[in-house]
Amino acid sequence: MRILIADDDAYARSYFVRAFQEFGCACFGATDGHHALSASEPGQFDLALCDVRMPGPGPWDLPALLRARDPALRLVATTAGLDADLRARLLAAGWQAVLAKPVPLDVLREFAVPARGSTMSMHAGEDRPSAPPGIELADSTALLDDAAALVALGTQDTLRAMRGLSLAELDRASADLSPGSGLDPGALRECLHRLEATCAICGLSGLGAAVRHLQSASGDEQPQARLEVLATVHATRAAVAAWWATAPLGDPPS
């Protein structure tokens, strides 16, 4: 299987590439919709897995544009915060399946095989699988939920690798959310969208709750909620680094 993975979030893109490579697929990572279109040629890929919130052609136009280049290409959309209405509209726009981030490995594995002649419509947030057999789940803390992360990622080694990558995303969020960063409302929404996906994949439960609180906060509540997210980013980074020290896979990112 040859898979085109389009996501402007480098962390999410790395997760999908790593997962499909473990399933024996060849992967190409695209950073936005324009990059995905330029990479897609007839017969080049079997499947395109695309985030619906990235620069370039939007989720309502991208399916037709991709199919114009390769009518046989299977199209799968991914997004955080998926609800029934958005899922229905994305399917109507031409996506053959819609997956809610974080997408568990067991769900991705279903797409790592050739099409069976039927259209798949799946919401990865429904009927989440239990932890894989043979995985020993660590006790959850207020900041790190190993059980949830292992459900999403499948193996301890993958969890270590992805939490290592999350350190860079946490550093980026710290800079973006710091007072005086000049982040406009649109950039703040994108920052929180990336952070929410990272939290869901890696089991950063305390930070995920703080992010959701800021996303739903009213205007008067937002400054304090933003400071709470920033403080939780710092605490979470320290917790992830400490977790790494007890179960290292290698040298974590600095």
Q: Quote the CA–CA distance of 133 and 154 in Å, as a whole number.
A: 9
pLDDT for the residue numbered 115: 53
Q: Quote the CA–CA distance of 45 and 27 in Å, as a whole number.
A: 9
Number of H helices, E strands in the chain: 10, 5
Kindly report, residue by residue over 212-224, the tens digit of the pLDDT: 889 888 878 888 8
pLDDT for the residue numbered 235: 87
Taking 50 as the threshold, does the pLDDT of residue 132 lie above it? no
- Among the residue ranges 78-87, 127-136, 151-160, the one predicted with the least confidence is 127-136
Instruction: Label residue 118 by pLDDT band (50, 70, 90).
Output: very low
Strand order in the sheet with 2-6: 26-30, 2-6, 47-51, 74-79, 97-100
Q: Of 3.40.50.2300, 2.40.50.140, 3.30.70.2860, 3.40.50.10470, which CATH number belongs to 2-110?
A: 3.40.50.2300
Instruction: Label residue 121 by pLDDT band (50, 70, 90).
Output: very low
Instruction: Say what angle helices 205-216 and 185-202 make with each other, to 10 degrees.
Output: 150
Q: Quote the CA–CA distance of 93 and 78 in Å, as a whole number.
A: 14
Contact at 8 Å (CB) between 51 and 78? yes
pLDDT for the residue numbered 12: 85
Across 172-198, average pLDDT: 86
Q: Which single residue is written with the structure tokens 């990479």?
A: 39
Q: What is this structure's pTM?
A: 0.61
3-state helix, strand, coil in the chain (%, to 5): 50, 10, 40
Kindly report, residue by residue over 13-39, the tens digit of the pLDDT: 888 988 888 888 999 999 999 999 998
* Cα angle value 160/76/57 (rounded, 5°): 105
SS3 state at 49? strand
